Amino acid sequence: MLNFIDARCQLGRRGIVREGEPVTKSDILELMDRCSIEKAIAYHAMAKEGDMKAGNDLLLQETEGDERFIRQWCAMPSTFGEFMGAEELAEQMKKHHVSSIRLFPKTHGYSVKPYAMGKFMDVMAQCHVPVFLTYAECGSEDNLYSLLSSYPEVNFIISDASYRENRKLFPLMEQCKNLLLGTGNFVVHGGVKLICDYFGAERMIFDTGLPMGSATAAVALICYAEISEEEKQLIAHGNIERLLADVKL
């Protein structure tokens, strides 16, 4: 049976909760158990929606001693003293066993162009830290291309590309080998097989977007894909394990 590592999970209190939606860590763990998800890479809602530093601290508390969650911090390119600089970030990540970062350029109001990302990305590249963000957070395909092509050594996991994006997404995947697609909401008809055929199973990383996204849907999308067992294993956990094993903090 396939075991999954979820590369996109959010812990903590968020502003909006729909009726019946998972809220607490135990709600999320129940879904992970139900869906054969062994571990999840998690960031904290507070770090996205409220206060980045406080949210990253809360993440450490919430995941203390909990082997089901792999720590991810939200970050931003240090802009004039607002957030720690890239070197300090790398040190703190090492100290607290945080192995990846998630960016929200649109929500947090900064540019992903090289003039703004500058040294921050150079440090992430030196440390082999995988960088996660959603398609919508990049603002546009051209922004995404600029980011990915400026930092070819950084592995970017881009998630939440909808079923309507192939005409923009596929040329990006062809040009930028450092683009790995988060599978969660990529519900193109036969889309998982299409990506395997065009670009290889190495280019996909399983994710759910829990608790707002659907783990039951994300798991079925991979299980029912018309690809080999080996390809499923890579997407479900192999690719992300390889990236995390390569982190040099």
Region from 12-20, 49-57, 80-88, 144-152 binding other proteins, contact rule CB under 8 A: 12-20
Least Å from the CB of residue 191 to other proteins: 7
Tell the smallest beta-carbon distance from residue 23 to other proteins (Å): 10
Contact indicator for 247, 130 with CB cutoff of 8 Å: yes
Task: Judge contact between 37 and 65, C-beta under 8 A.
Answer: no
Instruction: Mention every residue, 6+ apart, whose C-beta is less than 8 A from residue 39.
Output: 5, 6, 67, 68, 69, 70
Among 42, 133, 218, 234, binds other proteins (CB under 8 A): 218
Residues 15-54 that bind other proteins (CB under 8 A): 18-22, 31, 34-36
Q: Which of 217, 86, 117, 119 is nearest to 160 (CA)?
A: 217
Which listed residue (55, 105, 213, 238) binds other proteins by CB under 8 A? 213
Out of 215, 234, 240, 243, the only residue in the binding site for other proteins (CB under 8 A) is 215
Binding residues for other proteins restricted to 128-187, rule: CB under 8 A: 162-167, 185, 187
Residue 233 as a binder of other proteins (CB under 8 A): the answer is no
Query: What does each C-alpha distance from 101 to 22, 154, 174, 203, 208 come to in angstroms?
Result: 23, 12, 24, 19, 17
What is the C-alpha to C-alpha distance for residues 161 and 221, in angstroms, rounded to an integer? Answer: 14
Contact stretch for other proteins (CB under 8 A) within 7-15, 84-92, 198-206, 223-231: 223-231
Regarding 228 and contact with other proteins (CB under 8 A), the answer is no
Number of residues interacting with other proteins: please give it, by CB under 8 A: 41
Task: Look at phi and psi of residue 20 and say left if phi exceeds 0, alpha if psi is from -120 to 50, else beta.
Answer: left
C-alpha 143/C-alpha 139 separation (Å) is: 7
- What's the token pair of residue 233? 């294993």
- What is the binding site for other proteins (CB under 8 A)? 1-2, 18-22, 31, 34-36, 162-167, 185, 187-191, 194, 210-221, 223-226, 232
